[in-house]
Amino acid sequence: MRNGSMQRFCSTVSSVDRERELARSRPSRLRRALPLIGSANKRLGQPTRAQTTPRGVRIGEVLMPELPEVETVRRDLDKEIAGKKIKSVEVTGARSTRRHEDLKTFIDPLVGRTVKGVDRRGKYMIVKLDGPDVLIIHLGMSGQLLRAPSVRTEMPKHTHVVITFTQGGQLRFIDPRTFGEMFVTTLDVIEEQVPELAHLGIDPLASTVTWKAFGGLLTLRSAKLKTALMDQRVLAGIGNIYSDEILFHAGLRFDRSTDSLKPEDVRRLYRSTVEVLQEALRLRGSSLADAQYVDLFGNPGGYQAEHQVYARDGLPCRRCRQTITKEKFTGRTTYFCPACQI
């Protein structure tokens, strides 16, 4: 792990230790040990599973990477592979390329092509080539993209697709649960193959999005706030972690109705959405104890140390010192502060 990653993880552990001491000094209902975040293995692409899990994240429960994580990987990819020519493609796990009945229809359009750049629509990454085709990548629940500097770099377990470049090095797709995928298509038919792309809402990280456009989509139909934030037809890329963090930042309850929002509430929620996602992106996403998300170089994100409510049930709110609560909401565990969020 790089020095920066080690420092970031040491900082995370230190902050967790401080919170543990605070919790011990509180009444017994707060005296539950805080888990440590799992650190990434030094061998590229083999993160170590933590011995304990964050509060609310069950053993075996895996959370899908959200917008900050996918955008972090996209930016890394764009810097690392743009301009490189594909020498060969090896597929060892056919489920990752399941849209292709014949592997030749996946491999042949890629070999010999040069990468022009990497775009994103929602959680789908689009690798543009110098031909008519594009390579679409979705990480699913446990997918990882890792840049190996050499073909001699140890191959991680669950590696399903390996792309080797003529300039050296490889791009590897690792996916233990195989819910992620890669497929080759053309942009003119992509929405036929992935219908949800035709109905994606606004991208919260796009600089052109205004609070009025945000509010117009959010309040288009009556729904609970968390449901609306996670509706991909409203906002693309927000999931369970960041919806909880955004709502805390805005001081709004998850079960409040969208049609109860005043204009000042909408503006505040818009600002919170942008600020939380931008800060998470700056810190390269959130890596939890399931150790599934790492960046292109095998390093964990750093935003988990900044979580205000997610997986902090039973601990004091960092703003008001009331106890963070968790509830089941539409089948998902939701974290909030009953005092700060109204």
**Is 98 a residue of the active site?**
no
Phi, psi values for residue 250, rounded to 5°: -85, -10
Catalytic residue among 66, 69, 71, 245: 66
**Is 332 a residue of the active site?**
yes
Catalytic residue among 35, 54, 65, 68: 65
Residue type, 130: D
Catalytic residue among 74, 123, 172, 326: 123
Catalytic residue among 26, 75, 116, 332: 332
285, HSE (Cβ side, Cα atoms, 13 Å) = 29
CA distance 210 to 39: 38
61 token code pair:
């429960």
Handedness of CA 58, 306, 229, 278 (dihedral sign): negative
**Is 66 a residue of the active site?**
yes
Whether 324 contacts 313, CB under 8 Å: yes
245 token code pair:
């963090």
**Is 321 a residue of the active site?**
no
Catalytically active residues, by annotation: 65-66, 123, 332
